[in-house]
A and B are shown apart, each in its own frame.
Chain A
Amino acid sequence: MTHAVLPETETRSEPGWLRRNKLAIAPWIFLIPALIFFAIYVVIPIFESLWLSLYQWNGLYDAEGNSTAVWVGFQNYVKLWDDPNFWTSLRNNIAWLVLYMLAVPLGLFIALFLNQTVTGMRFYKSMFFFPFVISQVVVGLIFGWFYNPDFGVVGTVWKAMFCEETTNILGNTTFICERPVPDILSSEQWATYGIIAAGLWPQIAYCMILYLTGLNNVAADQIEAARLDGAKGWKMLWYVVVPQLKPATFIAVVVTVIGALRSFDMIAIMTQGGPFGSTNVLSHYMFEVAISEYGERYGYGSSVATVLFGIMLFFISYFLWRMYQDEKGGR
């Protein structure tokens, strides 16, 4: 008996390091796989790309496999400052940020509208949610055709209103228009707004679904109480419902800001940054100067990416700080 007890007391008085710290270590063990991949695919490339932005490089290695990059210091950033295309892209990024925010209130109103019990409501809800499910590329294609001045909806409606059908010299049908058909995606002024409108379509659906789930959690007793106090309409919405939707609003704003900053697919599909670079945003401009057929300036592209990274970092830090504050308050 005593024989058996002795070793046990020994382990109890002298537990292994692993055992003593198991509570602190366990989470790290579970995190390791994710951390490794995050480091390889996210963190290291970020630093590589920051480093690359200090070089001039056309992406080629010589026959021995040495990089042909040349160190240029901060010259890429100086060039960026004087590059009108960069400023156009930045301006468009801001336009995206501002106008994309419309998705939040519009999503809220659609959610409020759909948050009622009518037969077939699930069907309507799924129809409204539909644009978010289909790929951005498909949305871009659909809107590209929609805006097409020859065979799109815009062109057809315009022709019906302002154009006259005649026959041309060979006897084929053709149209003669009082005013030329608006060519939205080829117009320097309107193309960006045309793409943003297309981008809003799925984004509104996204915000809507966030608000729909949020509305499920709105306390019915508070609504009741407010109603007894005579609140209705806008006041009810603003002072009773919206404050309770704060978590949903926060997430909707976050995804919309990030969605606006990473807008790439639609631009690539609808205009490729054209006409003459007027619909570029930073992410697409980076692609254009670095990876596209007429690019091959990887250092310069990296400097564009760095600027975009800085802007994103600003927003993301703010969001993380806000979340941290909320959690502290919650405790």
Chain B
Amino acid sequence: MFLNLKTAVAAIALSAVAGTAFARDLVINFDDLNPGPKKGFEDAVEKFKAENPDINVIVNINDREAHKTAIRNFLTADAPDVTSWYPGNRMAPFVDAGLFQPVDDVWEENGFSEDLSAIKATMSRDGKIWGVPYSYYQWGIYYRKDIFGLLELEEPQTWDELLAACGKMKENGVTPFTIGTKFLWTAAGVFDYINLRTNGYDVHNALTAGEIKYTDPRIVATFDNWEQLINECGFVDNHASMSWQDAIAPFANGDAAMYVMGNFSVDGYKNAGLTEDQIDFMPFPTISADVPPAEEAPADAFFIPTNAKNVEDAKKFLAFVARPDVQTDWNKTIGQLPINSKADISDDKFIQEGFALLNAATGLAQFYDRDAPAAMAKAGMEGFQEFMLDPSKKDAILQRLDEVQAEVY
């Protein structure tokens, strides 16, 4: 009797399992509630559903900061089948704890190694590939075209041209650069670019991987160039009490002419009342001519947790998000760049310039705070802010960053 009951229960349980397996739930956690990104994601999910009517897609969308906290729990406790996250060092803790599973087979079957080649290194760790990216955006210098016009300036191509342009701006009472370093990461953007142009992509990676010291002559050279930029160009006063949005105010008012930023800032300029005729984009000028061009291009990607229940369909979704047509539509909606080199882009001039820029790049950095481990990134960015406020502290700052580096890695 008891035995019978047990088999009956087992049979019911089995049929229940079979039932859910037939409906094939696919749970996806996404991390952006802002209207544009949310719509881009939802449109893509609709398309995926239409192509795969047998899969029951369940979507959880959370706000970015909340997602950063929640992911630390849900990967263990209640793993979705697919989650959005960031490549580079941001994925490292999860990869090392065995919470993501490798997706090399997805890359192989779909020929992503070719179509997504620029980002492959960033998606890899320990010789395996861990996710599939769907979007990225370029960094560079956004500048006031009207001020450049009044001062008869061209887009500077080289470091010397930039310094000369700055001299002319200062003569006319224009502060060359605006920036808001209250939340630190904006200073890291400037550092990354000077470092990428002084030493190149390999040194950037070696530094953020802890392989070379901050007192290394190459990094010191980066800081020397930065000091020159601070002295001969200069940033707005009080930048340490401004967020990146606050720093748009002097840019919009015409007090400052340039801003080292990512493409997401264009919306901010337009909201501040600037039109497309007043602003333009240029790549960060070259410093050392023999360094191959590398750019900052932080990417957003999808990963499959180790505890995912429906791995098969998760891989299907990952293959789907990297398809050229999907990336084309998605990135048109969110105003960013598709990573798949076969995808098309919108005719927005910033996107066009960014696409050309990133396609010509030999390496794509993810940004200092995504490439370096958290503790190092924090100390490093505090050091950058301190340096920008008082460049004479350079040696002490670099010394201290070496100590942090020795402890972190």
A residues apposed to B, CB below 8 Å:
58-63, 65, 68, 79, 82, 84, 147-150, 166, 168-172, 174, 176, 180-181, 183, 185-186, 272, 274-277, 288-289, 293-297
Q: Report how far A126 CA is from B249 CA in the complex, Å.
A: 39
Q: Which of A166, A171, A183, A293 contacts B374 (CB 8 A)?
A: A293
Q: With A183-B238, A276-B382 known to touch, is A169 a contact of B374 (CB < 8 Å)?
A: no
Q: Report how far A272 CA is from B407 CA in the complex, Å.
A: 23
Name A's interface SS: loop
Contact, CB under 8 Å: B174 / A169: yes
B389, CB-defined interface residue at 8 Å: yes
Q: With A183-B241, A275-B386 known to touch, is A61 a contact of B369 (CB < 8 Å)?
A: no
Which residues of A lie under 8 Å from residue B42 when comparing CB positions? none
Which residues of A lie under 8 Å from residue B374 when comparing CB positions? 293-297
Contact, CB under 8 Å: A168 / B254: yes
Contact, CB under 8 Å: A62 / B99: yes
Q: Report how far A65 CA is from B77 CA in the complex, Å.
A: 7
Q: Which of A79, A169, A296 contacts B150 (CB 8 A)?
A: A169
B60-82 contacts to A, CB under 8 A, are 65, 68, 72, 75-77
**Segment with Cβ contacts to A, from B16-24, B90-98, B120-128, B156-164:** B90-98
Which residues of A lie under 8 Å from residue B68 when comparing CB positions? 293
Which residues of A lie under 8 Å from residue B98 when comparing CB positions? 62-63
Contact, CB under 8 Å: B241 / A294: no
Name the CB-closest residue of B to A292: B378
Contact, CB under 8 Å: B377 / A294: yes
Which residues of A lie under 8 Å from residue B155 when comparing CB positions? none
For the A-B complex, the count of residue pairs with Cβ-Cβ distances under 8 Å equals 114
Contact, CB under 8 Å: B254 / A294: no
Complex A-B: 29 CB contacts under 8 Å: A60-B93, A61-B97, A62-B98, A63-B306, A63-B307, A84-B400, A149-B241, A150-B238, A150-B249, A168-B173, A169-B150, A169-B254, A170-B146, A170-B147, A171-B254, A172-B254, A174-B255, A181-B238, A186-B240, A186-B389, A274-B382, A274-B385, A277-B382, A289-B375, A294-B369, A294-B374, A294-B378, A295-B374, A296-B93
Q: Report how far A16 CA is from B146 CA in the complex, Å.
A: 95
Q: Report how far A58 CA is from B253 CA in the complex, Å.
A: 44
Q: Which 4 A-B pairs have the closest CB atoms?
A: A186-B240, A170-B254, A294-B378, A276-B382
Contact, CB under 8 Å: A275 / B375: no
Contact, CB under 8 Å: A294 / B375: yes
Q: How far is the CB of B59 from chain A (nearest CB, A)?
A: 23
Name the CB-closest residue of B to A296: B374
Q: Which of A61, A168, A183, A272 contacts B183 (CB 8 A)?
A: A272
Contact, CB under 8 Å: B240 / A62: no
B4, CB-defined interface residue at 8 Å: no
Q: Report how far A304 CA is from B162 CA in the complex, Å.
A: 46
Q: Report how far A17 CA is from B128 CA in the complex, Å.
A: 70
Q: Report how far A272 CA is from B243 CA in the complex, Å.
A: 12
Name the CB-closest residue of B to A176: B173
Contact, CB under 8 Å: A276 / B97: no
Contact, CB under 8 Å: A169 / B172: yes
Name the CB-closest residue of B to A183: B238
Q: Report how far A174 CA is from B242 CA in the complex, Å.
A: 18
Which residues of A lie under 8 Å from residue B246 when comparing CB positions? 150
Contact with A along B12-30 (1 / 0, CB 8 A): 0000000000000000000
Contact, CB under 8 Å: A276 / B147: no
Which residues of B lie under 8 Å from residue A293 when comparing CB positions? 65, 68, 374
Contact, CB under 8 Å: A288 / B255: no
Contact, CB under 8 Å: A62 / B386: no
Contact, CB under 8 Å: B385 / A275: yes
A150-B238, A181-B238, A294-B378 known; 12 new pairs, CB 8 Å cut-off, are A65-B76, A68-B97, A166-B173, A169-B150, A169-B151, A172-B253, A272-B183, A274-B184, A275-B386, A294-B374, A294-B377, A296-B375
Contact, CB under 8 Å: A297 / B375: yes
Q: Report how far A82 CA is from B75 CA in the complex, Å.
A: 35
Q: Report how far A169 CA is from B307 CA in the complex, Å.
A: 60
Which residues of B lie under 8 Å from residue A294 when comparing CB positions? 369, 374-375, 377-378
Which residues of B lie under 8 Å from residue A170 when comparing CB positions? 146-147, 150, 253-254
Contact, CB under 8 Å: B253 / A276: no
Q: Report how far A1 CA is from B238 CA in the complex, Å.
A: 97
Which residues of B lie under 8 Å from residue A59 when comparing CB positions? 72
Give the most central of B76, B172, B183: most A CB within 10 Å: B76
B383, CB-defined interface residue at 8 Å: yes
Contact, CB under 8 Å: A62 / B385: no
Name the CB-closest residue of B to A297: B375
Q: Report how far A289 CA is from B379 CA in the complex, Å.
A: 11
Contact, CB under 8 Å: A276 / B238: no
Give the most central of B97, B147, B173, B389: most A CB within 10 Å: B97
Contact, CB under 8 Å: A174 / B253: yes
Contact, CB under 8 Å: A274 / B182: yes
B154, CB-defined interface residue at 8 Å: no
Contact with A along B84-111 (1 / 0, CB 8 A): 0000000001100111000000000000
B276, CB-defined interface residue at 8 Å: no
Give the most central of A62, A63, A181, A289: most B CB within 10 Å: A63
Q: Report how far A274 CA is from B369 CA in the complex, Å.
A: 17
Contact, CB under 8 Å: B238 / A186: yes
Q: How far is the CB of B96 from chain A (nearest CB, A)?
A: 8
Contact, CB under 8 Å: B307 / A168: no
Which residues of A lie under 8 Å from residue B172 when comparing CB positions? 169
Q: Report how far A129 CA is from B307 CA in the complex, Å.
A: 54
Which residues of A lie under 8 Å from residue B150 when comparing CB positions? 169-170
Q: Report how far A172 CA is from B272 CA in the complex, Å.
A: 14
Which residues of A lie under 8 Å from residue B325 when comparing CB positions? none
Q: Report how far A68 CA is from B407 CA in the complex, Å.
A: 19
Name the CB-closest residue of B to A155: B238
B357-409 contacts to A, CB under 8 A, are 369, 374-375, 377-378, 382-383, 385-386, 389, 400, 403, 407
Give the most central of A62, A169, A172, A180: most B CB within 10 Å: A169
Q: How far is the CB of B260 from chain A (nearest CB, A)?
A: 19
Q: Report how far A275 CA is from B386 CA in the complex, Å.
A: 7
Q: How far is the CB of A39 from chain B (nearest CB, A)?
A: 24
Contact, CB under 8 Å: B378 / A288: yes
Which residues of B lie under 8 Å from residue A60 when comparing CB positions? 72, 75-76, 93-94, 97, 99
Contact, CB under 8 Å: A183 / B240: yes
Q: With A150-B249, A170-B254, A297-B375 known to touch, is A63 a contact of B99 (CB < 8 Å)?
A: yes
Which residues of A lie under 8 Å from residue B242 when comparing CB positions? 150
Which residues of B lie under 8 Å from residue A68 when comparing CB positions? 97
Q: How far is the CB of B118 from chain A (nearest CB, A)?
A: 27
Q: Report how far A170 CA is from B174 CA in the complex, Å.
A: 10
